[in-house]
Structure 1
Amino acid sequence: MDLIKKFIPYYKPYIGVFLFDLFCATVLSIIDLVFPQFIRILRETLFLEEPAIIMKRIWIIGLLLLVLYFIRFLCRWYVTYWGHMMGAKMESGMRKELFERFEAFSFSYYDTHNTGEMMSKLVSDLFDISELAHHGPENIFISFVKIVGSFILLMRINVPMTLCLVSVVFVMAVFSVSRNRKMRATFSDNRKKVAGINSSLQDTLGGIKVVKSFTGEEIEEKKFDKSNLAFLESKKDNYKQMALFHSGNNFFEGLLFVTVIVAGGVFIAKGQMTVEDMAIYALYINIFINPVNVLVEFTEQLQKGLAGFGRFCEVMDTVPEIVDKEGAKELTHVEGVIDYEDVSFAYGEEDSVLDHISLHVDKGKNIAIVGPSGGGKTTLCSLLPRFYDVTGGSVKIDGVDIRDVTQRSLRSFIGIVQQDVYLFNGTVRENIAYGKPDATMDEIREAAEKADLTDFINSLSDGFDTLVGERGARLSGGQKQRIAIARVFLKNPPILILDEATSALDNESERYVQDSLEKLSVGRTTITIAHRLSTILGADEIIVLGSNGIEERGTHKELLRTGGLYEKYYRMQFE
């Protein structure tokens, strides 16, 4: 009931369509109920008249029936088309909500959740919710009208026999409710297992180059088989419950016909019922059983939809860890002065990654951060655009605590070039323009030129309109990196973070990319994370970040003279 209460408000934007859908469903039900009664009335009136009178009036009656069934045609069209469109629009709106919620989560959410599971919630779960949104109220309403209407009409024909039928339906309802609870658990398990398959598939296909280079096809097949067989076992349990549910209800439907034949025969023998009334009664039995069947089949759809909606609510009820505080201001101008004041940070319940770090960076300065892997270099930089929030202390830009401004305005002033460049499956132009979606073609060309991309782009068959492939699969590492640099040139932020931007490149590519990065850094406050010390020799200040926090700081020459940790790293690389 809690899930249903949460689901009802999603009908609000479509209340007009919803109410007219129910009106059309009512008309459909009434026309279906009228037909057997129409036959009964004709049997008692017109069909007792002279043949000539019957011939004269039957055409009028036929025309009336034709009009009724044309109205039925229009109502069925509306229910089928607009009813489904209402469900599809609700699905689309919920998918938009879910996507926006995924985007709102901080990096810590993605550290613990799998992309394949998220895709399952965005696609398959919401499709089941869409079907429930349309068919749920409609099926219940039509079934209610038909069951109540046929019950009233059956009571008018023969009260005792109708009460016999009601007793069978009551037992059938008790059976359905008891089996329904077991079905719901299996449908919920199905959804989790489908998410497991999506997760395994996404993981394998995303790393297909690694799989093939290590001949890991058999390993991946075993991993996929495990999740696939788990889903099969889940379906096995689900189908067992469904089989018992449907076969049991079919038995009760047959029992209704048995009751009609036996009880009808008894009442005819006692003179309490005519053969004609029993024939009409049999017609109404079909109308009575049909909505019962619909409700039985709807139960499966209900469980699928509620299972999917439950998973949807799990995400929507998860509060993003990083949100704009109430009254957060827009950051409108940035000089580029950065201060880390007594900053500490830990991932969840883990030990602290950063402890009481204090660091000041003047406007336009170029500082570099070096140190061992796992020492917190990337984490320190990730705190600046609020990808994570500090667990202690504060981070300030131009003296303003970054938690006091909106995330969107904050990040608009920060450019990031990472080691693992992500290019979207589009054209070169689209990927460069991601730094400024409303950029003109001249601006895009200028950014490409600054990133030393002009000759490369001119060599492509379609120039800027060349497709780069998924994650930039058609380009080399250096080419992808320079496209990422062009993005930042176009964005033109006053603060720049270079996260090991050249560590994965060969020497020649590194030289081109490093030239581009040096151009990009001019006039900007730049923080560089580097393993290759050759790329940071000209930094204004080098910070050595170790397990004990900031262990050394100074220029390249100063740190070499001290003979400390930096000097050790330098000798290891160059000697």
Structure 2
Amino acid sequence: MARGGGPTVIHLTEAEVRAGGAPILRRIAAMLRPYRTKMVFVAIAVVVSAALTSLVPFLTKAIFDKALFPPDGDIRTHLLAWLVAGMCAIPVVTALIGIGQNWLTSTIGNSAMADLRGDLFAHLQKMELAFFTATKTGAIQSRLANDVAGVRTVLTDTATSILQNSVTVTAAFISMVILSWQLTILTLILMPVFIVIQLQVGKRRQRLARKTQESLSEMTAITEEALSVSGILLSKVFNRADSEVERYRQANREQTRLQVDQAMTGRAFFATVQTFFAITPALIYLAAGLMLQGSSELTAGTLVAFTTLQARLQMPLLQLMRVSLDVQTSLALFRRLFEYLDLEPAITERPGAVELDPHALRGQIEFRDVRFRYPEPRSLSGTVVRDRFGESGVRIDSGPAPEQGWALDGISLTVKPGQLAAIVGPSGSGKTTMTYLVPRFYDVNEGAVLIDGTDVRDLTMGSLAEAVGMVTQEPYLFHGSIRDNIAYAKPDASAEEIEEAARDANIHDRIVSFPEGYETITGERGYRLSGGEKQRLAIARVLLMDPRILILDEATSALDTETERLVQDALERATHNRTTIAIAHRLSTIHNADVIFGLEDGRLVEQGTHDELLALGGLYSRLYVEQFGSGRIEARFTDGVRFTDGEVYCDRPAPDERRADVSF
């Protein structure tokens, strides 16, 4: 498995590739292992049903040769009654067995499918952030829903069908040989040819199944993008509804074409097989006539029993061929699912990782000569890549990706416990990247990020997540109540704790003004709320979590003046007694920071307080002038202050003075 800076690679040995689906079949068998006791009962039921069904032709032969047309010519009514009773009892018993068998197979298959879906979801939760930035959400949803649903039949019915039909075919074959080995050869003479053709059809069905699922993933992705609240808003703003409809229709047409191709693949083959099976009884009668002319011991009862067995043999054989094709089709879907399960998370917990003690945590953050570049996106596009062993459907390493520049280059700094540290710099300078390294959304390439002197890579993932809270520029709210969204950080929080966090975030009064209060539904991604309301809910969520370290990623950049004042006031409460790293494009929000770090092109170019950096005349001073220089650009502050013509004015002046005494 490739990790880090290259494409995702699923390594198969040469033997595994040549073996085709054998490794996947072993993994499917492993999935069913927890249900082996139930599978034993299924196998017993199948064998008993097949054995009982195989008795029917012999009862038929006995009815003809011993009850209806015995050698002496006298119909034996008593024997006939017993034989007929046996023939009636067998279907009743097999039907009852079939009900229990169906319950067992349904339980096994659906339980195994639920396990697979759960394992896949749990594994995806462990994947690093970079994986999801490179993979369409719709593609992931398609594998969880469509691909898993596509293998439902294999897990619920196919294994039992294979066993049942195999036992039936074996029993029928043995019985036919016992009755007449000559007629048996005639019946099965073309089976080797059919098997070879079926293998070729199966390979084509596999390729089509994979392409069909890839097309379905694309349709799901288009649906997820275009019909989300953001997608609908975007298409309406730019009047692109018609193009979105056409994009979906094109994908839909491709999906329809592939579905038709997949449905028609092998139809001619099965039509040929069915035709041969249909005319075989006529050939049997012809052969029987020739054998009878040759003074054969073949009797009428034997002929009737043989043709009955022939019908019982042909249908299971045909079903086995169909099931075999279904299995080969499903192997493509299983391979797609196992591709995700085989991805190794790039960010993992080291053996012997240290648990952070929340009571002893001071919150000092240190970047020690950190160098970092973003890895090549790790995702599975689903395309089939031809390797040197043939078209196996696995992704192969296409060589090293071109090396990117450093996103962070030699960063060394320290944020002391309880400090408010601000990071400023132009877009693309590495500000957000720095904050992503603290909670280990990514790992550094060189150097180290330390909390209280311990490398974050040596900390347990759980304790690190509890120690570091984050408020982003665009907070995410799921479709649920306001209470549930706040309590996401602490599911066992009491109503009092939730309300206290909301008060500290300046959102409680707004919440209780809603008709349903804390039970108000936020809508998808919180679209029923304003930007400021969503931001304050996100702050309340972090406050409920009560982390020792807080990261604020441009949390007020898209807000109006009044809302910014409310959010800024909430943030000031949130940063109290916490180590805080704040990213801000509005320099007015961080002029009281204990220390300000200036980043440019991934390098730390200056650090100091607001006054020190203004006096230095470097990056911070330049950014300051760009925002407020010569008074031509008006800046809004949380207390209603604006900077005009080199002077600072209050929009809401005090009664005794028009000009506010504000220093930067």
Q: TM-score, normalised by structure 2?
A: 0.83
Equivalent AA in structure 1 for residue 232 of structure 2:
I
Cα distance change on mapping 1:518 and 1:229 into 2, 3 Å: same
List aligned pairs for 1:285-434, cutoff 5 A.
285-333=310-358, 334-348=361-375, 349-434=403-488
Corresponding residue for residue 225 of structure 1: 249
Residue pair 1:3, 1:309 contacting (<8 A) in 2 also: yes
Corresponding residue for residue 72 of structure 1: 94
- SS, match of residue 353 in structure 2: coil
Query: What is the CA–CA distance in structure 2 between the aligned matches of 1:258 and 1:388, rounded to whole Å?
Result: 72
Residue pair 1:157, 1:277 contacting (<8 A) in 2 also: yes
Alignment partner of 1:249 out of 250, 257, 273: 273
Query: What is the CA–CA distance in structure 1 between the aligned matches of 2:565 and 2:88, rounded to whole Å?
Result: 82
Corresponding residue for residue 106 of structure 1: 128
Name whichever of 120-129 and 374-383 sits farther off. 120-129
Residue pair 2:420, 2:579 contacting (<8 A) in 1 also: yes
Query: What is the CA–CA distance in structure 2 between the aligned matches of 1:548 and 1:395, rounded to whole Å?
Result: 16
Residue pair 1:432, 1:486 contacting (<8 A) in 2 also: yes
* Structure 1 residue 199 corresponds to structure 2 residue 226: no
- SS, match of residue 265 in structure 2: helix
- SS, match of residue 82 in structure 1: helix
Query: What is the CA–CA distance in structure 2 between the aligned matches of 1:256 and 1:196, rounded to whole Å?
Result: 46
Name whichever of 389-398 and 261-270 sits farther off. 261-270
Residue pair 2:430, 2:602 contacting (<8 A) in 1 also: no
Report Cα offsets for 1:434-457 as digits up to 9, x if no partner. 010111111111111111222111
**Cα offset, 1:193, TM superposition:** 1.3
List aligned pairs for 1:211-290, cutoff 5 A.
211-272=235-296, 273-290=298-315
**Cα offset, 1:269, TM superposition:** 4.0
Report Cα offsets for 1:186-208 as digits up to 9, x if no partner. 11211111111112211212322
Query: What is the CA–CA distance in structure 1 between the aligned matches of 2:25 and 2:139, rounded to whole Å?
Result: 23
Query: What is the CA–CA distance in structure 2 between the aligned matches of 1:356 and 1:235, rounded to whole Å?
Result: 54
Query: What is the CA–CA distance in structure 2 between the aligned matches of 1:389 and 1:345, rounded to whole Å?
Result: 8
Report Cα offsets for 1:426-474 as digits up to 9, x if no partner. 1111100001011111111111111122211111222111211111121
Residue pair 1:128, 1:304 contacting (<8 A) in 2 also: no
Corresponding residue for residue 384 of structure 2: none
Query: What is the CA–CA distance in structure 1 between the aligned matches of 2:82 and 2:328, rounded to whole Å?
Result: 47
Corresponding residue for residue 160 of structure 1: 182
Alignment partner of 2:62 out of 31, 41, 52: 41
Report Cα offsets for 1:108-163 as digits up to 9, x if no partner. 11122111111111111112223212323212211111111111111122211111
**Cα offset, 1:289, TM superposition:** 0.8
Moved over 4 A (4+): 48-67
Cα distance change on mapping 1:387 and 1:269 into 2, 3 Å: same
Equivalent AA in structure 1 for residue 136 of structure 2:
N
* Structure 1 residue 449 corresponds to structure 2 residue 525: no
Cα distance change on mapping 1:64 and 1:441 into 2, 3 Å: farther
Corresponding residue for residue 3 of structure 1: 24
Cα distance change on mapping 1:223 and 1:375 into 2, 3 Å: farther
Corresponding residue for residue 121 of structure 1: 143
Cα RMSD, aligned residues only: 2.1
Report Cα offsets for 1:192-251 as digits up to 9, x if no partner. 111111122112123221111111112222332333333234334424423234333323
Report Cα offsets for 1:48-74 as digits up to 9, x if no partner. 689999555666556555554343223
- SS, match of residue 140 in structure 1: helix
Name whichever of 148-157 and 65-74 sits farther off. 65-74
Equivalent AA in structure 2 for residue 300 of structure 1:
L
Equivalent AA in structure 2 for residue 375 of structure 1:
S
**Cα offset, 1:415, TM superposition:** 0.7
Residue pair 2:470, 2:553 contacting (<8 A) in 1 also: yes
- SS, match of residue 227 in structure 2: helix
Name stretches of at least 5 consecutive residues in structure 1 with no aligned partner.
none
Corresponding residue for residue 192 of structure 2: 170
Query: What is the CA–CA distance in structure 1 between the aligned matches of 2:528 and 2:424, rounded to whole Å?
Result: 32
- SS, match of residue 367 in structure 2: strand
Query: What is the CA–CA distance in structure 2 between the aligned matches of 1:532 and 1:150, rounded to whole Å?
Result: 83
Cα distance change on mapping 1:78 and 1:361 into 2, 3 Å: same
Report Cα offsets for 1:520-575 as digits up to 9, x if no partner. 11000000111111211111111111115111211112212222221222222223
Query: What is the CA–CA distance in structure 2 between the aligned matches of 1:162 and 1:155, rounded to whole Å?
Result: 6
Alignment partner of 1:520 out of 560, 574, 580: 574
Percent of pairs with identical residues: 33
Residue pair 1:428, 1:464 contacting (<8 A) in 2 also: yes
Corresponding residue for residue 89 of structure 1: 111
Query: What is the CA–CA distance in structure 2 between the aligned matches of 1:420 and 1:259, rounded to whole Å?
Result: 76
**Cα offset, 1:258, TM superposition:** 4.5
Name stretches of at least 5 consecutive residues in structure 2 with no aligned partner.
1-21, 376-402, 634-664
Name whichever of 265-274 and 333-342 sits farther off. 265-274
